[in-house]
Amino acid sequence: MNALYFGTYDRTSPRNTQVISCLRDAGVTVVERHRGVFGRHNWAPGPRTLARLVRAEVALGRLHDADADVIVVGYPGHADMTAARRVAAGRPVVFNPLVSLADTVVGDRRLVSRRSPVAAALRALDRRAFRSADLVVADTEAHAMYFRDAFELPSDRVQVALVGAEDALFRPAHAEPGPFRALFVGKLIPLHGIETILAAAALVPEVPFVVAGDGQLASLLRERPPNVEHIPWIAYESLADAYRTAGCALGIFGTGPKAARVIPNKVFQALATARPVITADTPGARELLTHELDSLLVPPGDAEALAQAVRRLADDAQLAATLAAAGRATYMAHASEPVLGARWRSLLEAAVGA
């Protein structure tokens, strides 16, 4: 099978690198046709971004690849679907969106008003992108249900493949980690519940916390508890070592609807490195994790419950080791590259067959 991975997708996003890696390991020939617009240092909206996007879409629409059996539009490829359909020339187009733009920008991050022209434009772009795909691949069943309902899609046009992690990078350590510390890595956005993490840290002053990241809610760190260390960012290639030396990894604790639907990259990465995970007890998380078997799940937004969970792991090395081993087993069974590669290949084969 030959797949064309297509669009203005973010090459720094694990969702894209993971899918490409999984497909190749599953025997799919993947050719990338990419035009850079977005990325960690190049994402801000505005006239320049719009101009780059227009130029990229014109260039993408002129591409031709006769060998591809299927076109896969990477995240965030919402604006790429028109060009993808033109290049596909009758071949199936599979959309790997990860998120709804309107749900993220308007609903979760609240960067613009729901009644603003920008919000209306994002809703229109979302609807056109999702409805023009032959297949949409969501990251959880909870997210798939949202996509089906929001864009009025038949059930069989939205399927699920978990996010996972890069197996070659995220592996267990051969030695025991150092002194216990709770590690959070991620953008400081409402989804992640950084205010809950800081409040929990204040309740367990004897436990060191590390918050690695920057973003919309960075101002909350100005008056952080003294046991919280802030690191602006950890390079992707150093993330595995950061997890391996942590006592536990913190997932997300936001209370919004989107937070209930997703399992973030950080959870998969921590599971893959065999570190105990604490994250919010949500429908999305429950699709993969089981409380007190392979993780500790706490109510979203509940700082006291999070503090108690961190204290349990800090005080009970055997519990931490048991959860870490079981978490690694859960990852290998459901989210490792061989498992996800087979899943993605089966989805593409079904799209081509249809």
Residue 191 near residue 210, CB atoms below 8 Å: no
Q: Is residue 41 over pLDDT 50?
A: no
Band of the pLDDT at 246, cuts 50, 70, 90?
A: very high
Over residues 164-189, the mean pLDDT reads 90
Q: 197 or 64: which carries more pLDDT confidence?
A: 197
Give a yes or no: residue 147 inside a domain. Answer: yes
Whether the CB-CB separation of 106 and 112 falls below 8 Å is answered with yes
∠ at Cα 116 (114, 117), nearest 5°?
130
Question: Predicted confidence band at 48 (pLDDT cuts at 50, 70, 90)?
Answer: confident
**Is residue 175 in a domain?**
no
> Nearest CA to 187 among 232, 248, 249, 245?
232
288/328 same-domain check: yes
Residue span of the structural domain in which 51 resides: 2-164+336-353
Residues 101 and 145 in one domain: yes
Give yes or no: residues 131 and 232 share one domain: no
The pLDDT tens digits of the residues spanning 105-117 come to 998 888 889 999 9
Residues 250 and 318 in one domain: yes
Give domain status of residue 99, yes or no: yes
User: Is 176 domain-assigned?
Assistant: no
pLDDT digits (tens, 9 = 90+) for 250-298: 999 999 999 999 999 999 999 999 999 999 999 999 999 999 999 999 9
The predicted pLDDT at position 38 comes to 66
Query: Would you tell me the crossing angle of helices 303-315 and 317-334 to the nearest 10 degrees?
Result: 110
- Is the domain of 322 the same as that of 340? no
Confidence of residue 23 (pLDDT cuts 50, 70, 90): very high
Q: Is residue 174 part of a domain?
A: no
CA distances from 138 to 5, 59, 144 (A): 16, 27, 5
Do 271 and 340 belong together in one domain?
A: no
The residue among 38, 61, 64 whose CA lies nearest residue 50 is 38
**Is the domain of 148 the same as that of 24?**
yes
- The reported pLDDT for the residue numbered 350 is 97
Q: What's the CATH code of the domain at 225?
A: 3.40.50.2000
**Rounded-to-5 percentages of helix, strand, coil across the chain:** 45, 15, 40
pLDDT over 90 at 53, yes or no: no
Instruction: Kindly tell me if the per-residue pLDDT of 342 is higher than 90.
Output: yes
* One domain, residues 211 and 318: yes
CA dist list (Å): 187 to 33, 109, 221, 225, 233: 28, 11, 13, 19, 9
Rounded Cα gap, residues 17 and 10, in angstroms: 9
Show contacts of 310-318: CB within 8 Å, 24+ apart: 310/182, 310/200, 310/204, 310/207, 310/248, 310/278, 311/204, 311/207, 313/180, 313/247, 313/248, 313/276, 313/278, 314/180, 314/182, 314/204, 314/206, 314/207, 314/247, 314/248
Residue 103 DSSP SS3: helix
**Number of domains composing the chain:** 2
The Cα 66–Cα 86 span in angstroms is: 13
**Higher-confidence position of 54 and 26:** 26
Instruction: Answer whether residue 173 is part of any domain.
Output: no
Whether residue 207 is predicted with pLDDT greater than 90 in this model: the reply is yes
For residue 102, give the nearest of 142, 140, 139, 146 by alpha carbon: 146
Residues 262 and 297 in one domain: yes
Residue 211 has pLDDT above 50, yes or no: yes
Q: Is the pTM of this model over 0.75?
A: yes
Please provide residue 166's backbone torsions phi and psi, each rounded to the nearest 5 degrees.
Answer: -80, 110
- Say whether both 25 and 50 belong to one domain: yes
What per-residue confidence (pLDDT) applies to 45? Answer: 59
Per-chain mean pLDDT for the chain: 93
Buried b (16+ CB within 10 A) or exposed e, 22-56: bbebbebebeebbbebbeeeeeeeeeeeeebbeeb
Can you read off the two tokens belonging to residue 228?
């919280």
> Does residue 136 surpass a pLDDT of 50?
yes
**Is the per-residue pLDDT at 325 higher than 90?**
yes
Q: Is residue 177 part of a domain?
A: no
197 and 340 part of one domain: no
pLDDT value of position 212: 97
In a domain, 170, yes or no: no
Please check whether residues 344 and 322 belong to one and the same domain: no
